[in-house]
Amino acid sequence: MSIIEQRRSEIRAQENTYHIVVSTRTDVDRAEPTPKVMITLEAGGPGGEPVAEGSLDLDVAVAATVADLVADELLSATGAARPTRRRSAGRPAQQGRPWNDELDAELETRWIAGESVAEIATSFERTPGGIRARLPRVGCDPENPGCYLPVPPSRRTDLDGGEPN
C-alpha cells in the first residue's frame, strides 16, 4: 500500500468533536493497482464519550456516488432535510475552471470582433464577471468593447522606433 495523499480534519459541531481522516492510496502489491479512498471517522461527545466511529474503503471511481448515497440515506432515516448547496445547480459548467492559451486567444478574438460580454460568457459557459475579469489578462479593455488596453507610457517606444522610455 502506498499513501498518495492524506487529509485530517477536526470539526466541532453542536456538542460533538469529529475527527475525519481521508487517505488516497494505491495497492501496489496487486497486478493492476487500483486507487482507493479510505475514510475514517471518530466522534466524541462533550465528555469525550464515543458517539460515532467507523471507516470505509472505496475505489476512487465510486467514492462520490457512495458519499451521495450515504448522505441521502442518513437524511432519510433521520427525517432531516437536505441542506442547500452553496452554489446553485444552474451555474455555468466552466465557472472556476482554469484558462489556457487557446481559450485566451479565442476570448481576445471574440472581444475585438465586437461580441458582448453576455454572448462570450454564454459561449464559454462562464459568468459575465469571469469574462470581464479575464479580458485585461489578454490585453483587452473590458470597459470598451472591441478595444485593446492602451499601452502604458512606460512601455511605449518613441516615434523613431527606439527603445521604451
At residue 32, the pLDDT reads 64
Distance CA 147, CA 152 (A): 15
Enumerate residues 6+ apart whose C-beta is below 8 A from 44: 16, 17, 50, 51
Per-residue pLDDT tens over the stretch 91-146: 888 888 899 999 999 999 999 999 999 999 999 999 999 999 999 999 999 999 99
At residue 101, the pLDDT reads 94
Q: What is the dihedral of CA 82, 19, 7, 66, to 10 degrees?
A: -40
Tell me phi and psi for residue 121, to 5 degrees: -60, -45
Q: Is the pLDDT of residue 161 over 60?
A: no
At residue 132, the pLDDT reads 93
Per-residue pLDDT tens over the stretch 2-58: 667 788 888 888 888 888 888 887 766 666 667 888 889 899 998 889 988 999 888
Q: Which residues does residue 2 pair with via DSSP β-bridges, in sequence order?
A: 26
Per-residue pLDDT tens over the stretch 40-53: 989 999 888 998 89
At residue 152, the pLDDT reads 79
At residue 119, the pLDDT reads 94
